[in-house]
Structure 1
Amino acid sequence: MTDKSRLSVVASNPPDRDGRKARSERSRLQIVDALFALIQDGEMEPSAASVAEQAGVGLRTVFRHFEDMDGLYREMTERLEAEILPIVMTPWQSSEWHDRLRELVARRAGIYERILPLKVASNLRRFSSPHLMNAYRRFLTMERAGLMGILPDDIKADETLLGALEMLTGFQAWRRMRQDQELSAEAAEAVILRTVEALLKDR
């Protein structure tokens, strides 16, 4: 590269502009991390001011990066989806459907425990947010598809049994046991597994 071409590259990407871009990206990440932290600490509907304070930035900075709180929640749900998708897509260790169902229960226990407060917080806002409602429906579709991909045809054809299994292995059952019944994560997983096995004892 000639000295002239080097000067051209530097001119098109001046260090101060690159520095501003990096600082802006760090600030954006801090804001999203702040939302995560507040919700995980039990604040289910944090305000923009609370997020700004937690992130150590001004309120104007929050809205410079995100048009509104819905945009911030959108970023949160996208990050969660990106985090859990590789877990969901991990190949099953077993080839037998009973064992795969046990794997599914264990896998979902880990996922649900990770996302519990964040999912509850987004569910509180989904009725006023088309994006969060769409994310909620995508999650339900993913749950159902994961279960249907394991079960044999005779169980999928049994509407009552399928409905019971879908409800039992879904997020809402986990939320109820962990929050309403105040079971430990280990106890909640044991309840699900025991009930699943009871439902399928003759299968």
Structure 2
Amino acid sequence: MAISLKNVEIDGRRLRSERTRQYIIEAYLALLRESPAVPTAAQIAERAGYSVRSLFERFPDLLTLSIAAADHAFAQANAQAVIRNADADRATRIRTQVETRGRTCEQWLPLWRALAHNIHHSEELRMRMRRMREAVWLRLELMYRPELAPMPAAERLRTLIALEAITDFESWARMRETFGFSTEQAGAVWIRTIDRLLPPTPDS
């Protein structure tokens, strides 16, 4: 079967465009990690090695770029946060959950703050942030099922709300930035707090 040169050219352009799009997202994320200020289009384009025109050919505005970055982050975080030790003993489950959540917060805190800054301007952004919170919630339910399952529904809900609040991005940021804790020290605080918050683990 003959391959059309025109189709090859179209596929090549599409691949280059997608690669440019990815470089722009990565440049945006890199700049967020370097500075709390949301980067400008010119700064993002320069970091990515493209023109501002190229940026806006792929993203009509910076809000659209932030949504694309959120999708990229969600996919990356899900790939990195593989469920491990869900059936292990209490101490191992808490340590595993804290290590995974700590890595996520350490890597994606700058983006989370940028998304929160724009959340009132976009329903799509609100949807992305809800989806991220739901993923955290489901993981908490899974990792602490032995302790949560026997609880009455209202008490279980209150405990999950507290667990999510304890391990949110800003909790991590306060320990790391305000108090200067190392990642190990911050993780140890979460481990002790979660262990005290959860009810005793039922006997097997």
Query: Structure 1: any 5+ residue segments left out of the alignment?
Result: none
The equivalent residue for 1:153 is 149
173, 179, 182: which is aligned to 1:181?
179
Cα 1:125–1:179 shift into 2, 3 Å: farther
Matched, 1:81 2:74: yes
* CA distance in 2: counterparts of 1:82 and 1:202, whole angstroms: 34
Deviation per residue, 1:53-73 (Å, 9 max, x gap): 212211111110111111111
Of 122-131 and 18-27, the range deviating more from structure 2: 18-27
Q: After TM superposition, give the deviation of residue 110 of structure 1 in Å.
A: 1.4
136-145 or 71-80, which moves further after superposition?
136-145
Structure possessing the higher relative contact order (Cα contacts under 8 Å, 6 or more residues apart): 2
Distance 2:199 2:180 in 1: 28
Kept after mapping to 2: 8 A contact 1:155/1:161: no
Give the letter for the 2:45 counterpart: A
CA distance in structure 2 between the partners assigned to 1:155 and 1:171 by the alignment? 27
Is 2:112 the partner of 1:114? no
Deviations 1:112-167 (A, max 9, x none): 11112121222111121222111111122222221122233244642554443232
Q: CA RMSD in A?
A: 2.4
Shift of 1:168: 1.3
Match for residue 13 of structure 1? 7
Partner of 2:63: 70
SS of structure 2 residue aligned to 1:90:
coil
| TM-score scaled by length of structure 1 | 0.83
Gaps of 5+ in 2: none
Q: 1:170 maps to what in 2? A: 168
Q: Which amino acid aligns with 2:139?
A: G
1:51 CA drift (Å) = 1.0
Measured after TM superposition, the shift of residue 89 of structure 1 is 4.3
SS in 1 for 2:94: helix
Q: Matched residue of 2:85: which SS?
A: coil
Determine if contact 2:140/2:160 at 8 Å carries over to the other structure: no
SS of aligned partner of 2:37: coil
Q: How many residues align?
A: 196
Q: Deviations over 1:64-91 (max 9, x none)?
A: 0111111111111111111111334424
